[in-house]
Structure formats: structure tokens, C-alpha cells
Amino acid sequence: MTRTKQQDRPVNRSQGGLMLWHGMNISGLRRLIRSRPSLHWSRLHKLMALPVTAVYNSGMGALESLIYGKAVAQTELVAPPLFVLGFWRSGTTLLQNLLSHDPQFAHLGLYQALFPWHFLLTETVTKKLTAPFVPRARPMDNVEISWDAPQEDDIATAIMSQVSPYMFLSRPHDVQSFWKSLDFQNLSDSELQRYESCLMHLLKKITYKSQKRIMLKSPFHTYHVQTLVKLFPDARFLYIHRDPYHVVRSACHLRRRMIEENTLGRPAFCNVEDEIIDTHRFALERYEQDRHLIPDGNLHEICFENLEVDPIAELGTAYRSLGLSGFADLERALLPKLFSLRSYQKNNFNDDPVLVRRVYDELRPAYERFGYSAPDLQPTPFVGESGAA
């Protein structure tokens, strides 16, 4: 693997005052407390806000349910959803952002993801009042954000159901709390039912608001394709893959930043590289195990490196493969944005020869499955990762 060593530090910026937990209602906060999260006095200002936001979310949620509940419950999806799959940092955000320009799709915005219980009621006014306080970019990279920017539905379902690998952020010293929800066989019947109910409720709310086909992205979905096919038999799936080494380096940075910004206690980074490699391997194993359940013509795989070079050509192929109409509208929307897409500044990391070899040895099936060349494994001086926590 030949890469230019650069000294630029990867992005480390604040996500602002809000944490994942501030979107929970009283029931969600109760379940969070019962999980015995790590706590520390240095996070006291954020901890003290939790009861206030929980009461607010419960109150607004109850009022929204009173006004919109019956209509939402009776809402039917316009069409089966389009799911973007792939491991964290494999290009899922790029793909989601590109697809969000297609006017036929509705996507989950940041405000909706953080306040899933009451966005139908509060979104219009609150977004206008608080837009100046939203950070301009994400804490781990240079992807621009706003209240309307596409977001992972796993953020919303974590807030609503507490069934999510993101619950690990409250107990970063306990890596098993990350693994628990990756395999739905680890969940009780009530937990699985709660997750499915919350996901369906979220999709109905998005549909009620937009009356469009929904496009969703969450790496979490890669682990439970079987459940998605059961819930949405004719859903379409786009799976994106990327050079495993780049994925692992970037995912390690992501995990550290998410812990630093969202933990309620002292940040703890337990075997980060080991965990990222292991969960990457499991993601591929589960995807390979379950992808045959997707009906023919409903799954298309995209190479991140090709999408980066020619997004319009790659998306055109994907639309034809999945039998999706409306590509001309997406192409018209994307053409003026090609320059900014190509000038996007990704995080830079110095190569770690030890990690290069380890990733190749342990994730070789991913290299072989998607046709990535073996890296250059010649001995080179060790250079630590810039910006390591």
C-alpha cells in the first residue's frame, strides 16, 4: 500500500452542547440509568440537563401523539425503503448525502434523528430558533451538517428504543455493550419488538411528513439484513465497501471522537483497533450470510473508490441495477456540486506498518471479496497516528 505520509491532524472538533442522550424521553432515560452508565463530575453540566430534556421530550411527545398520533398510525409507506449498508467509514455518509439530492426520496434529518419523539410538532419553529448554534461540521471529519442534513436512523432508534451499538457510548469501558445489539439473537423478545416498533413508527412519521419513498443509512443495518427483509420484503439495498485499511484507521478515529463527545463519564478507549477489526469482520460475515435473502434485483454493491471518482456514473449504474426511476433528476441536482465533492478534504493519517499488516492478515476475506490489492508489506519505520486520543 503506497500512501503519502501527511502531518495534518485528523479533525477533532466539538459537536456542541447536545449529546445523544438529550433526545430521550423519561422512559428512555430510565432505561439508560438502569444500564449503569459511567458517570463523572466533569460531565455534570450535561448530566444535569438530562432530566430536563427527558421531561421536555416526554411532554412534547405526548402532545404530538395527541395531535398526530392517529394519522401517523394509519400512515402506509409510499414504497419500500432504500437502505444504505456498509461498515462505519466505508463511504455510507457520502452515498447517503448523494442520494439525498434525489427529490423522490425522503431522508431523516439531524433534528428528526435527535428528537424523534416530537419532530412533527416542534421541528419547524425549533430549527429556525436554534440553527445558528448547530456546528458547521461533524466532530470527526469535515462533512457539513445542519438540522436538515441526512443522519443515521440508528441515532433515532437508539434514542427511542435503547437497542443500538451506540448505547456503548454510555459505557465505553464495557465493549460487550457495543456487541450486544449487533447480533439480534442476543436480544430478548421484548427488546427486539421494541426496536422494530420504534423503527416502523419512525418511518411512518417520515412518510406522514413527506409522502415520499424513504432512503435510510445506518451501518447498524448491515448486521441484521434478515430483519429488514422480514419487515420490508421488497426493500432496495445499496451496499458500499472501501479498502479495509482505510476503513479501520478512520473507524478508530470515529470511535474515539464519539466517545469523547458523548460519554457521561471519563472517556475510555478499550482495545479500539482490536474492536474495530473484530466488528468489521463480523459485519462482513453477517452480510455474506444474509445477502442471499434479498430478492434478485434488490441489492447493488458500490465501490467507494469508484464512487469518489465518478459519482454520477456509479449512481446511474446502481439505479439501473435496482430498477429505480428518476435518475435524471438526481443527475441534474448533482452536476453543479461535482467540484465541491471532489475538493472535499478527508482526514489524513500517517500509515502504521504494523496495523497495515494486521488489517490485511485479519481482514483478508474483505480484500479478496471486493478485489482490493494486497498492501505493500515491506518493513518501514513505525509512525504513530496523528491525533490519537
pLDDT recorded at residue 346: 65
The model's pLDDT over 251-303, given as tens digits with 9 standing for 90+, comes to 999 999 999 889 999 888 888 999 999 999 999 999 999 999 999 999 999 99
Average pLDDT of the residues in 166-176: 91
In this structure, what are the phi and psi dihedrals at residue 272, rounded to the nearest 5 degrees? -60, -50
pLDDT in tens, 85-94: 999 999 999 9
Q: Estimate to the nearest angstrom the gap between the alpha carbon of 183 and the chain centroid.
A: 17
Q: DSSP labels for 10-47?
A: PP-----S--GGGG--HHHHHHHHHT-----GGGHHHH
Q: What are the C-alpha distances in Å from 135 to residues 10, 107, 253, 254, 385?
A: 17, 20, 19, 17, 26
Give 311's contacts (C-beta < 8 A, 6+ positions apart): 98, 334, 338, 341
In tens, the pLDDT along 55-91 reads: 999 999 999 999 999 999 999 999 999 999 999 999 9
pLDDT over threshold 70, residue 3: no
CA distances from 389 to 12, 36, 212, 268 (A): 10, 25, 42, 10
d(C-alpha 389, C-alpha 381), whole Å:
21
Residue bearing the bigger pLDDT, 131 or 281? 281
Domains and CATH numbers, the chain: 20-370 (3.40.50.300)
Q: Is the pLDDT of residue 15 over 90?
A: no
pLDDT mean over 198-224: 97
pLDDT-derived band at 141, boundaries 50, 70, 90: low
Distance CA 41, CA 266 (A): 9
